Amino acid sequence: MQLTPIIAIHLAAALAATALGPIALWARKGRTQRPRLHRAAGYAWVTLMVATAVSAIFISGGNGPRWGSFGLIHLLIPLTLGMLVVSFVLLARRNIVGHRQTMQYIYVGACVVAGGFTLLPNRLLGHSLWTALGMA
């Protein structure tokens, strides 16, 4: 698989979301709370996550069980989008603890765990990385 424009969009949005997530998540923690930074970074992060999830629809899955052009990893698309909606519903209901936990779960699951799986040697990004490092 080569780096197509849709994969480049997906990769750029995912990397930006992974980098921006901690700013959004922890701008409201500790003694010095920064609500403006939290809100701005949060909306940007959500936008990047939506771009990541939507662009993933157009990327065919790798090896393994398939349903058309979709693989198991595509199950993360509705899960991510659904959890983003849940987090805003919780926020609208003023359930700040639930909102915070949901956003933390999304960040860890979608950015850290799913992002980590992209570094496996049989995936496009992982193969490129390990080859560049001379370990593939």
Q: Which domain holds residue 110?
A: 5-132
Cα four-point dihedral sign 77, 79, 85, 91: negative
**CA–CA dist 1, 22 (Å, integer):** 31
**CA–CA dist 74, 62 (Å, integer):** 10
The total of structural domains in the chain comes to 1
Q: What is the pTM of this model?
A: 0.86
pLDDT along the chain (136 residues), means of 10: 84 95 86 86 97 91 68 86 98 96 96 87 78 76
